[in-house]
Structure formats: structure tokens, C-alpha cells
């Protein structure tokens, strides 16, 4: 009998931010083919008062009618105040989570995002008497100081298993947060090659209105400071001054949207920068296919899926050497540069644009699918439950 897994996360694609949590959606969809999965999409609900809203994500909540392709999902909210309720968010989220999870009767709880969502999942799992696994995704491990670091450390203690998206993140969980090495398992993200694959560059440019002779640099992701957006615009401004063919596509959305638009206008480069807004994966793949280079100048990362997507599309990637990015980018598919260094980013982009890349060879360097991710994840779930493939799961609350 397939195990019943309650998957808890605050990160899924939503109408106002289609790029958010796509990798969790893909994992949940693939895992749902192998187990009985219900996704509990918990969202912090902030007061509608100016200044009292999160600064990293576009504001907005989805209602109970929220649906997601290929996933059984239940969306709900819990009350929160930015900063002020940080220490209690895990407890408040668990209060809303427990009764919903009890109705589902899971064999195991799997949460993606350490705090507060992993903390809420851990508390709920203990209330129901079932095991709990928490998966760390990136900044929920790498960007943690002060109270956040304390709450992260406390959440990671006593879990039945911890999943990380890279070996580098596994090392951080153990060395920085005292996680038990025997319980930390790297499960590297996958790629949907039905969507992300090499495409004819000129055909994509014709479809998207990109000049045939453009030297197009594309960024895909959230518009937030920690993604290196200011460094990217500085590097692009310098490159654009040297070559009139250089163009930039910013695919995504975020809290820096208006600031970035203002910076583009101020530099006089508005005609050479396209801001597409958030797009569906197939549209993202078209923009990557139209590009010469994909870039991701983040200050920190876990295992950035957009880097894998760019490479799968046969495009070289210029990215910062942070987190698990170095586990993806090799000499034949991209260039690594130091973070927070606009000049180094400019040199890396210029180098990538000057080289001749073998698109087929670049694409061939990645092949892991979401089915592989789901299979690896389920194997760890079964290990925690102490069952084999043919066993009936017990321990349900």
C-alpha cells in the first residue's frame, strides 16, 4: 500500500508569482505518482497596513479554492506580523495545520522550508504521532543569523530525516546547525526535459520579438536584492556601453520590480531591457532558448533549478559560486564568478558571449528528472517508516 504523505510548504506557484516554488510543485507532482500525497500550502497572513508586509515576496494570499496541476492541495493561512511574530510563527502555523492534517491521517509528514514551516510540520507530526522529514531549499539554511539561526537550529534537532538539495547544503546543515550527519540526505533537484530542451534560437527570437542579431542575456527568478539584481544591472550597463547588440531579459517578478524599472529608465537602456513578468515554465523555456547566456548572480543558493534549466536548454550559464551552484556548472556548460561583484560578473558575461558553445554538449551535461527526485525522496520516507516497497504502512494517527 502506498504511504500517505502530508507535504507542508509555503512555496508554490501562485497567480501573482508564477516562479515561486516551481521545484516544490514538480517534486509534489512526481511524488504523487508514487504515494498518496496531500500538499498543505500554509501562508502567513499579514495585516493590511502599509509597512507591515514581507519584504522578500510579492504580497498576496490564495484562498481555499486554490488548485495546482497534478497535486492534491489544501491552502490555508495563519496570522503573522513581519519580524514581530517570527519566534511564534511555527507555533501559530502548527495550530492551523494540526486539524487539517489529522483529517488526512498521514503516515509521515514531509515539509519543505525549515522555519517556520518545518517547525510547524514537526510540531504537528509529534501531535499526531508520526515521523517528520524536513527539506531545506536554500536561503532557509544559508541566509540565517540571530534569531532565525536559533530557530533553524532548533527545528533541525530531533527530526527523523533532513533533505538538502546539494552536498554543500548538507555540509552547512551539519557544521553550522548541528544536524545529525546520519540523518541528512542530499536529494538533488531534477529537470523536466519535455519543457527544458534545446530550441532553435532564431525561431524563439522571432516568436518573442527579439532582434536576430541580439546578444541576449537572460535572468530568471525573483526580483530581490539577494539575487544580485543590482550587480546584474551594473554589469549589463557596462556591457551595453561596449556593444549595441547586447540586450537583457528579466523573467520573473518580485518586490524590486519598480526599483529595477526605475534603474533601467535612469540608465537610458529601457529599449534594451525586457521585463516579462512571471511566466509559466514553457514560456520561461522559450526565453532561455532565445538567449545567448543565462545568468544567476545570487548571493546565496541551495541548488538553483534555473541553472539546471538553462543548461538543459543548451545555453551556458554565468552564475555566482555559491551553495550547490558549483556542483552544476562545469567548464563545458558555464562560468562561475564571485558573488556581489559587478565587475567580475561583467567579465564572466563578456567571456560567455565571446565563446562558441556546443548546445548539444551543454544540454547533455544534465539529465536527472523529477521522477528520480520523487523516487529518492520516497526511498528516504520508506526508510524512516521502516517499510519496504511491498509493506503496508502503519503508524497512522
Residue 389's pLDDT band (cuts 50, 70, 90): low
Residue 97's pLDDT band (cuts 50, 70, 90): very high
The pLDDT value recorded for residue 53 is: 56
Residue 396's pLDDT band (cuts 50, 70, 90): very low
Residue 292 and residue 270: Cα distance in Å, rounded?
Answer: 20
Name the segment(s) of the chain with CATH classification 3.40.50.2000: 4-190+369-385, 201-364
For 295-309, 329-343, 359-373, 377-391, which range has the lowest pLDDT when averaged over its residues? 377-391
Residue 232 and residue 324: Cα distance in Å, rounded?
Answer: 20
The pLDDT value recorded for residue 232 is: 98
Residue 319 and residue 209: Cα distance in Å, rounded?
Answer: 26
The pLDDT value recorded for residue 344 is: 98
Which set of grid coordinates corresponds to residue 165? 538539495
The pLDDT value recorded for residue 397 is: 38
The pLDDT value recorded for residue 59 is: 61
CATH architecture of 4-190+369-385: 3-Layer(aba) Sandwich (3.40)
pTM of the prediction? Answer: 0.79
CATH architecture of 201-364: 3-Layer(aba) Sandwich (3.40)
Look over the chain and give the mean of its residue pLDDT values, rounded to a whole number. Answer: 91
Residue 226 and residue 187: Cα distance in Å, rounded?
Answer: 24
Q: Residue 342 above 70 pLDDT?
A: yes
For 290, the enclosing helix (H) or strand (E) is helix 281-290
Contact present, 346 and 229 (Cβ < 8 Å): no
Distances from the Cα of 216 to the Cαs of 110, 142, 209, 240, in angstroms? 40, 31, 12, 11
For 264, the enclosing helix (H) or strand (E) is helix 257-266
Residues 82-92 have a mean pLDDT of 84
Amino acid at each position: 500500500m502506498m504511504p500517505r504523505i502530508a507535504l507542508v510548504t509555503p512555496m508554490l506557484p501562485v497567480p501573482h508569482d508564477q516562479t515561486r516554488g516551481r521545484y516544490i510543485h514538480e517534486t509534489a507532482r512526481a511524488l504523487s505518482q508514487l504515494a498518496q500525497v496531500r500538499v498543505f500550502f500554509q501562508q502567513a497572513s499579514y495585516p493590511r497596513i502599509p509597512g507591515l508586509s514581507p519584504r522578500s515576496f510579492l504580497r498576496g494570499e490564495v484562498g481555499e479554492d486554490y488548485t495546482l496541476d497534478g497535486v492534491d492541495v489544501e491552502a490555508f493561512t495563519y496570522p503573522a506580523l513581519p519580524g514581530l511574530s517570527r519566534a511564534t510563527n511555527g507555533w501559530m502555523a502548527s495550530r492551523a495545520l494540526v486539524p487539517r492534517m489529522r483529517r488526512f491521517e498521514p503516515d509521515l509528514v514531509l515539509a519543505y522550508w525549515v522555519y517556520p514551516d518545518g517547525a510547524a510540520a514537526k510540531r504537528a507530526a509529534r501531535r499526531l504521532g508520526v515521523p517528520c522529514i524536513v527539506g531545506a531549499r536554500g536561503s532557509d539554511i544559508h541566509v540565517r543569523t540571530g534569531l532565525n539561526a536559533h530557530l533553524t537550529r532548533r527545528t533541525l534537532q530531533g527530526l527523523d530525516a533532513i533533505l538538502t538539495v546539494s552536498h554543500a547544503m548538507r555540509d552547512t546543515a551539519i557544521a553550522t546547525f548541528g544536524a545529525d550527519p546520519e540523518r541528512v540526505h542530499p536529494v538533488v533537484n531534477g529537470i523536466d526535459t519535455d519543457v527544458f530542451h534545446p530550441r532553435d534560437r532564431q525561431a524563439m527570437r522571432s516568436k518573442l520579438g527579439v532582434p536576430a542579431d541580439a546578444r541576449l542575456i537572460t535572468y530568471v527568478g525573483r526580483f530581490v536584492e539577494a539575487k544580485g539584481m543590482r550587480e546584474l544591472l551594473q554589469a549589463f550597463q557596462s556591457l551595453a556601453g561596449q556593444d549595441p547588440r547586447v540586450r537583457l531579459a528579466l523573467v520573473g517578478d518580485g518586490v524590486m520590480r519598480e526599483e529595477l524599472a526605475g534603474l533601467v529608465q535612469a540608465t537610458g537602456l529601457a529599449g534594451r531591457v525586457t521585463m516579462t513578468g512571471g511566466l509559466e515554465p514553457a514560456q520561461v523555456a522559450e526565453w532561455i532558448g532565445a538567449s545567448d547566456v543565462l545568468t544567476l548572480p545570487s548571493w546565496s543558493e541551495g541548488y538553483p533549478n534555473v541553472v539546471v534549466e538553462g543548461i538543459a536548454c543548451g545555453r551556458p550559464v554565468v552564475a555566482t559560486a555559491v551553495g550547490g551552484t558549483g556542483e552544476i556548472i562545469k567548464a563545458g556548460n558555464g562560468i562561475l564568478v564571485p558573488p556581489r561583484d559587478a565587475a567580475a560578473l561583467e567579465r564572466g558575461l563578456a567571456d560567455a558571449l565571446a565563446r562558441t558553445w556546443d548546445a548539444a554538449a551543454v544540454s547533455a551535461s544534465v539529465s536527472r528528472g523529477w521522477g528520480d527526485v520523487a523516487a529518492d525522496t520516497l526511498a528516504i520516507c520508506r526508510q524512516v517508516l521502516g517499510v519496504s516497497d511491498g509493506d503496508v504502512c502503519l503508524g497512522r494517527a
